[in-house]
Amino acid sequence: MTTAVASSPLGLASPARGLECRGCGARFPLAAQHACFECFGPLEVWYDAEAFAKVTRAQIEAGPKSIWRYAGLLPAGQDPAQRVTLDPGFTPLIKADALAAEIGLRAPLWVKDDSANPTHSFKDRVVSVALTAAKALGFRRYACASTGNLANSVAAHAARAGVPSIVFIPYDLEQGKVITTAVYGGDLVAIEGSYDDVNRLCSELVETDDFEDTAFVNVNLRPFYAEGSKTLGYEVAEQLGWRIPAQVVIPMASGELLTKVDKAFEELVASGLAVAPEGGWRVFGAQSQGCNPIATALHGGATEIVPVKPTGIAKSLNIGDPAAGIYALESVRRTNGWMDYVNDEEIRDGIRLLARTTGVFAETAGGVTTAVTAKLVASGKLDPQLETVIYNTGEGLKTIDAVAGRVGPTYHVKASLKAAREVGLVS
């Protein structure tokens, strides 16, 4: 595939110029390649700085209310007719005064609610960018290794585009995520193992002849895929009036979302599109106790990640061997942020706290972020006087079992005024 791909550019309007190794800095042409031929390090898209400098606020603001308003800062999708997309993005940024009051934040607190995306998680952003690149590069089947949300998104994108899909998931996912993938009619492969096992198998499959025509969004298309997460940084800054918030709290699975939001802020400042807060921004990472390898490395002062075998209810974050973990550590250290983790009971409480105070029903990952935010305020790591944005990346309906035993009807009554009187609903 490599040769064919190397001769298939992403279109003349793309600001992407190539791929660059995050380890040794070696550069490669734009292609479906994710590891450095020199040092096996992960690759990242590099861009034409002059093209970025030409992007203006006015151009962006005149664009669609989706991630594609930032097409000038993304590797693919400049031509609307060539996008493979459900048009995700420009999700609500919700002022959360009641939540701030409960956890002791005295500066403005905002929830970036990415459950509002078409398949109700932030994965629609990365999938739209990856599959648009995949189409340009000539792939004819769409695939991924997933903890659930990515599976939903790839299957739905493929159905909309009328392209076959094959999605790989651990066998023990939440039913909500299994059904919401299978219903779109593509192939769905349940693997007896953890997400890390699924990911390993996909890395092997992508090298076979049978999968030569297949774009695994988070394996061979990973450099493009990862860039989609930058839009979660761009949008928050634009929604705040082209200001970067002083503090952001971001859930971590591979760690990539955190690094890309940080990268987005850097790009906005470098290109003069947004203003950094006094003293710079601080990036905070949230994990669950059942899968906390990145936070553990930070707490231990390490620069390497020791993989763990994930447990616990925050399945969408259960990546025991996080691909971008060391880069997440770098972002957090460079910006004077911090990381922390919470247990399953705190996650359930976090879901309910967020719902009760904001009207946003988050999946377990959002419970992690909410609970970790409260913990970071309590421990003094998060400055209660600084404006803060927390990211809810998914939808409560997909992990309904997490709270099913904890919430329910407050009254059971027969259908009569007399019965309502007996339980005290009326006097």
Binders of a second copy among residues 60 to 119 (CB under 8 A) are 65, 86-87, 92, 94, 98, 116, 118-119
Q: Binding residue for a second copy (CB under 8 A) from 249, 351, 368, 382? A: 351
Q: Which residues, other chains included, contact 4 with Cβ-Cβ below 8 Å and sequence gap of 6+? A: 138
Determine if 184 is a binding residue for a second copy (CB under 8 A): yes
Cα–Cα distance, 103 to 100 (Å, whole number)? 5
How far apart, in whole angstroms, are the C-alpha atoms of residue 356 and residue 377?
19
Q: Which of 218, 316, 358, 373 binds a second copy (CB under 8 A)?
A: 358
Among 208, 241, 278, 380, binds a second copy (CB under 8 A): 208
Among 62, 209, 241, 301, binds a second copy (CB under 8 A): 209
3-state SS, residue 169: strand
Q: How far is Cα 38 from Cα 19, in angstroms, rounded to an integer?
A: 13
Size of residue set near a second copy by CB under 8 A: 76
Give the one residue of 22, 35, 187, 381 binding a second copy; rule: CB under 8 A. Answer: 187
Residue appearing with tokens 């909309």 = 160
Query: Any contact of residue 26 with a second copy (CB under 8 A)?
Result: no
Sign of CA dihedral 94, 97, 98, 104: positive
Helix axes 256-270, 325-334, angle to 10 degrees: 50
For 241-312, strand residue ranges (E) read: 247-251, 282-288
Beta-bridged to residue 238, according to DSSP, are none
CB of residue 174 to a second copy, shortest distance in Å: 10
Minimum gap (Å) between residue 391 Cβ and a second copy: 17
Q: Please state the closest distance from residue 81 (CB atom) to a second copy, in A.
A: 13
* Interface with a second copy in residues 144-183 (CB under 8 A): 156-160, 162, 166, 169, 171, 175-176, 178-180, 182-183
Binding of residue 190 to a second copy (CB under 8 A): yes
**Amino acid found at 86:** L
At 338, which amino acid appears? W
Encoded tokens for 420 = 């309502």
- Indicate the residue among 218 and 259 with the shorter CB distance to a second copy: 218
- By beta-carbon proximity to a second copy, the closer residue of 84 and 258 is 84
In the DSSP assignment, the letter for residue 423 is T
Query: Taking the mean position of all CA atoms in its chain, how far away is CA 172?
Result: 21
Per CB under 8 A, which region of 29-37, 204-212, 218-226, 251-259 contacts a second copy? 204-212
Q: Which residue's structure tokens are 């490395």?
A: 297
- At 306, list the tokens: 């020791």
Contact with a second copy (CB under 8 A): which of 1, 129, 137, 198?
198
Contact region for a second copy (CB under 8 A) — 44-52, 298-306, 348-356, 379-387?
348-356
Q: How far is the CB of 171 from a second copy (least distance, A)?
A: 7
Interface with a second copy, residue 3, by CB under 8 A: no
Position 188 contacts a second copy (CB under 8 A) = yes
- The CB-of-17 to a second copy minimum distance in angstroms stands at 32
Identify which of 242, 287, 295 has the alpha carbon closest to the alpha carbon of residue 265.
242
Q: Tokens 């105070």 appear where?
A: 357
Q: How far is the CB of 47 from a second copy (least distance, A)?
A: 29
Taking residues 118 to 137 in sequence order and writing x for each that binds a second copy by CB under 8 A, - otherwise, the string is: xxx-----------------
* Complex with a second copy: residue 51 or 420, whichever CB lies closer: 420
**381: number of Cβ within 10 Å:** 17
CB 240 within 8 A of CB 93: yes
Tokens representing residue 240 in the block: 């705040």
Taking contact as CB under 8 A, which single stretch among the options 42-50, 198-206, 259-267, 385-393 is the one that binds a second copy? Answer: 198-206
